Amino acid sequence: MQETSLTPSAAKPSRLGWFDDVLLLGIMAVLAGCGLIYEYLLSHYAGRILGALEAAIYTMIGLMIVSMGLGAFAARKIRDAFTGFVILELTVALCGSLAILITAAVIGFGQQLPLMIANTLGLPPDQLPEGGMIGSLQKLSEYLPYVWGVLLGLMIGMEIPLIARVRQSLSDEHLLHNAGTIYGADYIGAGIGAAIWVGFMLAIDIQLAAALTASFNLLAGFVFIGRFWPKIRRPKLLLTGHFIVTGILLVLAIHGPRWEQEFNNLLYKDKVVYAKATRFQQLTFTERLRGNGLPPVYALYINGRLQFSSIDEHIYHAFLVHPTLAASARHNKVLIIGGGDGLGLKQVLHWEPEQVTLLDLDVGLVQLFKSPDTDMPERLSRAMLTLNGNALNDPRVTVINDDAFNGVDKLIATGVKYDAIIVDLPDPSHPDLNKLYSDYFYRKLKELMSSDGALTVQSTSPYHAPKAFISVAKTLALAGFDVKQYHHNVPSFGEWGWSIATAGGLDAQHRLAKLTELPIKDDWLTLGLVDGAFEFPANFYKDAAKIKPNELGSLQLYHYHLQDWSENQGLNLF
């Protein structure tokens, strides 16, 4: 019998096994989802805790995409793709889980450093050391999220080239569609990651979300070690490293949220007594004890910006509400847009309306002021319900949780008309809010308002942001309203302003001038203060002709607001 043999050249080339292929593509999809979530996490932190503008989100994503491109080039320097990939995922898991916690610690330390130095040297509270090296440290610390974004971006960018090399090395023939197949898994994984972020991670603590995301990077490393053990250098050492980082992630998942919150609390001068992340924003309550039988001062910060202080919120809300209702012919039906804390609503109910509709996006915020969470300190719960007069539980009040831009359309479809409309929205400090200050949105409100009613819009500070303030009035005028503006000092915010508009008949200022007294009694507001609030410095409107209205899509008001506050070194308080 003749013996035959196959030479290597005649042997059939081995193909990449389906199991390994599915495994590698699955790992790539998971890591793509993790990468996208890291982008969102860091952007989310900058926006919620540092009070950064919406542009910070776009900056973060842009930086990470560029860094990923650089990382893809840098991956060529890694000689052993198997070992390099395992080390990479171990590093990504560690950095991704610690990035926010370390950032919070550095920023908190920077804010406390002046107080620590003052206490050490015995300096009085009004002589805290500022500027110089301390100021530079505080400023630089705000860029830390971007530093982490670049670092993580570089490492995430290495993942695709390394997976591609591993796939190719497991096959003796050239994989024609290697890159295309991996990119397909990458895009699908990123889409799934975005869905997980929106559907799940937005509702949990940001540090817990970071630890959970990092655990999937670590899991990818474990799976890789188990499947390709012979091809990895020093696998036992790397496996030990993975177990150590697993322990770190467990600690971060359990204790990290509390540590992060404690670091974040260092950003506030008063004691933080309660904090909660809703689906849309970070809520932080502070308490300042005054002694001498005086009640504590409570303040609410939303995404790091002061929303109200219990010591003077009544001034702001009295000026927001009472001129509007006094200028309206009737007060039977009132619409409030924003104002989910119920403080403006409390003032509206003094007018004995038949029905009040409150439209606010954040159900978590509204619920907190309607029926406080059981984990909220009891003294704070009582203070908040006292502050808003338990107004959100009044049977005359209907709360609608919806985006104002779309929610108004639904109200228009019902054919309802309101005697007065009060718009108490945050300042147009990012593009998303800009549309709620547009001519198109105000035209919608005009459809909802009775012809003899009045509408008031909180309009930022005429002192710190004069162009933005005037632009609000010009936008209302473009929408067909007769507009007047007024202002008053609110100690916690400084000089603040409002725009009051009517759709027909006399303008609001002339309507109010006919009154001999305010129809309701208020501890602060008087008719004289209302009349005087319409007076501005002689040169205030001298450049009004150059200021443009905020047409939908123009972002004109957003840019005015950003420029004004930057030039006047003010703080974004709303």
> What does each C-alpha distance from 207 to 96, 99, 418, 487 come to in angstroms?
10, 9, 44, 41
Catalytic choice (419, 424, 439, 564): 424
Strand partners, 482: 502
Residues recorded for the chain: 574
Q: Which two tokens stand for residue 538?
A: 């002689």
Report the C-alpha gap between 185 and 179 in whole angstroms.
10
Burial of 101-135, coded b for 16+ CB within 10 Å and e otherwise, reads bebbbbbbebbebbeeebeeeeeeeeeebeeeebe
83: CB partners within 8 A, 6+ apart: 232, 233, 234, 238
The closest of 181, 161, 179 to 18, measured between CA atoms, is 181
For the question of residue 20 being annotated catalytic, the response is no
> What does each C-alpha distance from 12 to 8, 246, 433, 572 come to in angstroms?
8, 43, 63, 69
Report the C-alpha gap between 430 and 202 in whole angstroms.
19
Q: H/E/C letters for each residue in 122-191?
A: CCCHHHCCCCHHHHHHHHHHCCHHHHHHHHHHHHHHHHHHHHHHHHHHCCCCCCCCHHHHHHHHHHHHHH
Report the C-alpha gap between 172 and 160 in whole angstroms.
20
Q: Phi and psi for 162 in degrees, rounded to 5?
A: -70, -40
Strand partners, 302: 283, 305
Q: Is 181 left (phi over 0), alpha (psi -120 to 50) or beta?
A: alpha
Q: What is the DSSP string of 376-415?
A: S-HHHHHHHHHHTTTGGG-TTEEEE-S-HHHHHHHHHHHT
Q: Which two tokens stand for residue 393?
A: 């539980």
Kind and range of the H or E element at 5? none
For tokens 């309660």, name the residue: 274
In terms of DSSP bridges, do strands 355-359 and 333-338 run parallel, antiparallel, or are they unpaired?
parallel
> What does each C-alpha distance from 188 to 37, 65, 80, 89, 147 come to in angstroms?
14, 17, 27, 20, 27
Number of H helices, E strands in the chain: 19, 11
| Active-site annotation, residues | 424
